[in-house]
Amino acid sequence: MAEISKINDNTYEVPIGYRPGMRVPGRIFVSAALRDMVESGTIDQVANVANLPGIVNYSMAMPDAHLGYGFPIGGVAAFREEDGIISPGGVGFDINCGVRLLRTDLQATSVQPRINTLIDALFEAIPSGLGATGRLHVSDQQLTDVFINGSQWAVEEGYGVEADLSHCEESGHMPGADPAQVSVRAHKRGRPQLGTLGSGNHFLEIQRVEEIYDEPVAKKFGLFKGQITVMIHCGSRGAGHQICTDHLEVLSRAVKKYNIDIPDKQLACAPLGSPEADNYFGAMVCAANYAWANRHIIAHWTREVFERYFPGSKLDLVYDVAHNVAKIEEHEVEGKRERLYVHRKGATRAFGPSRSEVLQAYAGVGQPVLIPGSMGTSSYVLCGNDRALDLTFGSACHGAGRVMSRSQALKLFTGQNVKAALNKDGIVVKATSPSMLAEEAPQVYKPSGDVVDVVHNLGIATKVARLVPLGVSKG
């Protein structure tokens, strides 16, 4: 078996031949310390993705890579429009799981004394956890509007303001939605869950800007030391999960129909241009738009809570990123512009100033790249660099990345002691389930700073600010 080789301090190559059928090599972007945390199963998944038709350059894994299903989590791969594929295994069930960051005009010193009350109010205002139903009651027709118009729908309904839209990736409504490809079952799951946070690693966090690394860019993003920010991490809820499940079944049949050899059933896919691929893409966009609307609504309720306790305070959107999605993008391949289907599964787009997709407000700088930490550890704001286009089709990590299983976490921690330890560090946590807290203990993740350093050192994205949690509301 071919051996993994070190290319440089932060890059390792998985050669063709590491696993049978690889069309291109794999690239894993990790430091030596993080390399030891990458399980062999994760490397196998990188190699499996390299089997897929039409893959360009490399099958890649970001520094937070860990074991997933189909693609690894932290996986990035781009496929040529002429002979490539699209695969739900490269997007995940939680389509457009993503992160939104709001900046306030409040100083931490004025918010910290009321953090308990604020977190309680947010926990109350934003439905979260299993079994919770949303505050919204939308009809099937309204849900179809959500699938097509995403955040635009939310703004028209009075959730958020027009200015928010330009501060979302894809302006919060990605073109190409085909609601006819969304099943009745997905409607049924999606309808009651619009405007809910969900559970697991999803959260709403009140943070303080602790450190600024790049003053001019921070200024452009509206960030300053001691400022209060709010981070929202969630996705497309049951609507997205069901859309993925439904189309996975169709694509499982498509691999037989089109004679595509896949090493993992979760990598079911269809050739680009085929009806099965078009239908999945159209449905995936619906879920992506649902997720943007969902984060928009949650942000609106967050603003309402802040208004109650800090009247006149301003919460503006820094940015909103999708980290589970497939996008049609133009990239340079061997000196030619090509249209590629870039799959990012647990990876964040990190476009630099040369890309037209970067919003006007941040022109000349690059897009904000939002990297949430685990509960209790720092989150980071970075700024996309053009160097990322050469290395990773403009992609960075999406978080810290798990290193410990849930069952192991439950053996080592209890919800109560995790909460007590966080309280000791001045972090208030409110969650529906104590075991969820134990499973999400800070120790089960890689250190977020180490992960972000790899991205920074490779020149994919530059560190702008570090945010520390003050209060967390979880499902």
Residues marked as catalytic: 398
DSSP state of 128: -
Residue corresponding to tokens 């997905």: 186
DSSP state of 176: -
Contacting residue, 92, 352, 384, 442, with other proteins by CB under 8 A: 92
Q: What are phi and psi of 142, to 5 degrees?
A: -65, -40
Rounded distance, CA 209 to CA 381, Å?
Answer: 10
Q: Does 443 bind other proteins (CB under 8 A)?
A: no
Rounded distance, CA 446 to CA 42, Å?
Answer: 15
Contacting residue, 406, 414, 449, 457, with other proteins by CB under 8 A: 406
Whether the Cβ atoms of residue 267 and residue 70 lie closer than 8 Å to each other: yes
Rounded distance, CA 189 to CA 144, Å?
Answer: 13
Contacting residue, 112, 274, 414, 432, with other proteins by CB under 8 A: 432
Span near other proteins by CB under 8 A; candidates 284-292, 374-382, 388-396, 428-436: 428-436
Q: Which is nearer to other proteins, 116 or 408 (CB)?
A: 408
CA-closest candidate to residue 471, choices 212, 302, 230: 230
Q: Which is nearer to other proteins, 38 or 470 (CB)?
A: 38
**Going residue by residue from 68 to 87, which x/- string records binding to other proteins, judged by CB under 8 A?**
xxx--x--------------
Q: Which is nearer to other proteins, 66 or 100 (CB)?
A: 66
CA-closest candidate to residue 170, choices 298, 358, 366: 358
Residue corresponding to tokens 């129909």: 257
CB atoms within 10 A of CB 450: 17
Rounded distance, CA 155 to CA 1, Å?
Answer: 55
Contacting residue, 155, 174, 206, 248, with other proteins by CB under 8 A: 248
Whether the Cβ atoms of residue 270 and residue 107 lie closer than 8 Å to each other: no
Contacting residue, 6, 7, 20, 39, with other proteins by CB under 8 A: 39
Q: Does 433 bind other proteins (CB under 8 A)?
A: yes
Whether the Cβ atoms of residue 42 and residue 66 lie closer than 8 Å to each other: yes
Q: Does 403 bind other proteins (CB under 8 A)?
A: yes
**Going residue by residue from 306 to 345, which x/- string records binding to other proteins, judged by CB under 8 A?**
----------------------------------------
Q: Which is nearer to other proteins, 24 or 65 (CB)?
A: 65
Rounded distance, CA 444 to CA 438, Å?
Answer: 9
Q: Which is nearer to other proteins, 259 or 407 (CB)?
A: 407
Q: Does 411 bind other proteins (CB under 8 A)?
A: no
Residue 318 Cβ vs other proteins, minimum distance, rounded to whole Å: 27
Interacting positions 134-193 with other proteins (CB under 8 A): 185, 188-189, 193
Q: What distance, in Å, lies between the first and last C-alpha atoms of the chain?
A: 44
Q: Which is nearer to other proteins, 418 or 458 (CB)?
A: 418
Residue 401 Cβ vs other proteins, minimum distance, rounded to whole Å: 9
CA-closest candidate to residue 296, choices 181, 161, 416: 161
Total interface residues for other proteins by CB under 8 A: 49
Span near other proteins by CB under 8 A; candidates 172-180, 217-225, 360-368, 431-439: 431-439
Residue 358 Cβ vs other proteins, minimum distance, rounded to whole Å: 31
Span near other proteins by CB under 8 A; candidates 100-108, 146-154, 262-270, 349-357: 262-270
Q: Which is nearer to other proteins, 106 or 284 (CB)?
A: 284
Letter string b/e over residues 103-121, b meaning 16 or more CB atoms within 10 A of that residue's CB: bbebebeebbeebeebbeb
Whether the Cβ atoms of residue 87 and residue 68 lie closer than 8 Å to each other: no
Contacting residue, 145, 169, 439, 453, with other proteins by CB under 8 A: 439
Residue corresponding to tokens 């089960």: 444
Q: Does 40 bind other proteins (CB under 8 A)?
A: no
Interacting positions 187-246 with other proteins (CB under 8 A): 188-189, 193, 198-200, 238, 241-242, 244-245
Rounded distance, CA 253 to CA 322, Å?
Answer: 28
Span near other proteins by CB under 8 A; candidates 105-113, 337-345, 386-394, 430-438: 430-438
DSSP string covering 294-323:
HHHHHHHHHHHHHHHHSTT--EEEEEEEES
Ramachandran region, residue 81 (left: φ > 0; alpha: ψ -120 to 50; beta: rest): alpha
Contacting residue, 94, 145, 164, 329, with other proteins by CB under 8 A: 94
Question: CA separation (Å) from 171 to 151, 359, 360, 461?
Answer: 8, 9, 12, 21
Span near other proteins by CB under 8 A; candidates 9-17, 28-36, 61-69, 330-338: 61-69
Binding site for other proteins (CB under 8 A): 39, 66-70, 73, 89, 92-94, 129-133, 185, 188-189, 193, 198-200, 238, 241-242, 244-245, 248-249, 252, 264-266, 268, 402-408, 432-436, 439, 475
